[in-house]
Structure 1
């Protein structure tokens, strides 16, 4: 069976790559112009722009919703006002003004049978856990999904320490288990290019600055500063700010200052195939790969999700719902 899926906050299509073996993407949305350029080059279509301006009714019917959404603080301003006016309100109302709200309104309108959301691992602890509590209440209590979450580290699949939270939901109460990620993965040297242009080597001025910055913070007992990578191990987490100075992942060189990763190496670090086209400037490419998902992790999750849908094994629990409190009770 081919599954129809949509790709929200699509970036450069990392989640789409993972799900394409199982179906067809019927809608994509990404507001960043440079990311759209990369998406067009690799998938032959231009994503729609700002999802906030798109009516959920205009989005095609689909089986699976994918979204690597940005985390924003949730404001509950207005809730007390609604109460004072005697107006009903729910968790969904309280998420208005956040990008999660746009995912929720599409789920509510289109009722896909499953979804996969990805975010930074700190989503769970943000605002003392209230942000994630609100998200889960919307997904389970208001939208009726059976929800699973896990923080997975990509370092067993790619040579990068990258922890992210993955949230999987099913419209039916079916059993699901996240994939087991290997403890040890490939070494960093396996993704490095052989011949690298000198422009990626740090200038004397920048290298001196990074060393003095790290030394200054070391004296204060802080661990801030550049990271000189161990080529036989894994790197730090690649971030969207890598284009600024490359300091989080520096590659040592004999007889030279260390160097930044090249954009192609960043693509490999995130598990993109060699056929993936890089058509933008280095600055834009660094931002795009830093913001992307680690593709091999999502591939394993996709496989498990499809298996769960097709196995259709119902869990023997029912949901006891209390506003602000979710608990399972065995039948």
Structure 2
């Protein structure tokens, strides 16, 4: 039996080391937080004396090159992520493409990896990423539009020139991580684009071709291992043609994908997050090994059950003890969702809200989506709604007081594995709407931590091979 993956994020929220320039410190903080949110974050860690007015004075002092006290610097520095425990002695290097808020990064950093390059175009996701993940100012680069690296939006640039540009921008690395945009391949995305009369999949002029940006980077940099993530529907999109193109392309690059021939209903490449947390969330995971390095032998994602937690947290354990009344559905919204569900149930289909009983230790929520901010319909917390009475007593005052509520952003963070109630406090520097979008677009963190743990010995071997080759050729890292 393999070692279980910890549920907690390993990153410490302690103060970052070597932050001494108050002006630079505040510049970094204000690139992550607005003033109101920064004050709220300070107050959340016990600094109740901070107010927008005081913070404004501190900012003005710093910009006037007036010295802040060591205590003030320490308090502000505590809101930046600290380097991981193995800093600066990392075991291997990886890059994080289409990174979102860092859900895949976590597991690879936990086994000793150093993230040296991150690409994410959404400015709100970047704020959350920078608030929680250490980015070495000397050894890490942030990129917004990956096409600025691959030059795929310049049709006149040759593949050779593009490869040279990629190598100039992205350093050599052992592992490539990419949760490339899934909208063109998802059921929801396909439905929306069909309704608009627009193309989808690889015919899409915007997101659909971004997989080929990943391909260009793999081809130019030749990492030993890659981990690609997407929605389960990627396999069936366009009657399987899209997935066949992906697999054929990776094969032609000289990579073997684990469990490539497994295509049935028991495909191990499909990993369900409910084995780690109480949320049904299936994602396809493509783990590729560079063929010439002979790293793949014996690796299969069928072994992932050995890395399931010995005890999965219950849905109720992830909930906050008290929440703001704003998260309880309004009478109008609840009546709409209730009657909408009744109407579709009468027609024999399953459309409707998802009510989750937090008192049932076996409760599993539906998949959290990026649209959760709209009405929260897919995951509603049951507050004792008297379901057997149904429509007859819908408007009963006592029953109405037990209207369901949506999850808070922090509860979403827990349901996705970014934090546990007793562990690391994931920083959320954005609005509730943006937070819901970010968590709904992310991955179940401990599921990918399990994949990282499965790959650990092979990654370390690959890193050692790269170091040996670098010394032989007189190249530096």
**Band of TM-score, shorter chain:** 0.7 to 0.9
Q: Deviations over 1:189-248 (max 9, x none)?
A: 010110111110000000000011111111211110111113221100001010000000
After TM superposition, the score normalised by the length of structure 2 is: 0.59
Please say if 1:204 is aligned against 2:331.
Answer: yes
Partner of 2:406: 260
Q: How does 1:105-124 map to 2 (within 5 A)?
A: 105-124=216-235
Distance in 1, Cα, partners of 2:209 & 2:257: 20
Mapping of residues 18-33 of structure 1, within 5 Å? 18-21=107-110, 22-33=112-123
- Quote how far apart the aligned CAs of 1:53 are: 1.7
1:162 alignment counterpart: 281
Q: As a proportion of its length, which structure holds more helix?
A: 2
Which range moves more in the overlay, 251-260 or 25-34? 251-260
Contact 1:39 1:47 in 2 (8 A): no
Counterpart in the other structure of 1:271: 417
Please point out which of 125, 135, 157 is paired with 1:35. 125
Q: Give a deviation string over 1:287-329, Cα, whole Å, max 9, x none.
A: 00000010000000001112234578xxxxxxxxxxxxxxxxx
Distance (whole Å) between structure 2 residues aligned to residue 63 and residue 257 of structure 1: 51
Contact residue 177 and residue 304 of structure 1 kept, 8 A? no
Q: 1:2 aligns with which of 84, 91, 97?
A: 91
SS of the residue corresponding to residue 289 of structure 1 reads helix
Residue range with higher mean Cα deviation, 266-275 or 196-205: 266-275
Root-mean-square deviation (CA, aligned residues, Å) is: 2.2
Q: Deviations over 1:34-83 (max 9, x none)?
A: 00110111124483101112142211111100001113312399xxxxxx
Gapped regions of structure 1 (runs ≥ 5) = 78-94, 313-331
**Aligned with 2:375 (options 241, 245, 248):** 245
Residues 90-148 of structure 1, C-alpha deviations (whole Å, 9 max, x = no match): xxxxx9961100100000000000000110011111111111111011111x2101111
2:444 to 294, 300, 305: 294
- Counterparts in 2 of 1:19 and 1:283: CA distance versus 1, 3 Å: same
Where does the alignment leave 5 or more consecutive residues of structure 2 unmatched?
Answer: 1-89, 136-140, 151-165, 185-200, 260-268, 385-400, 463-477
**Residue equivalent to 1:12:** 101
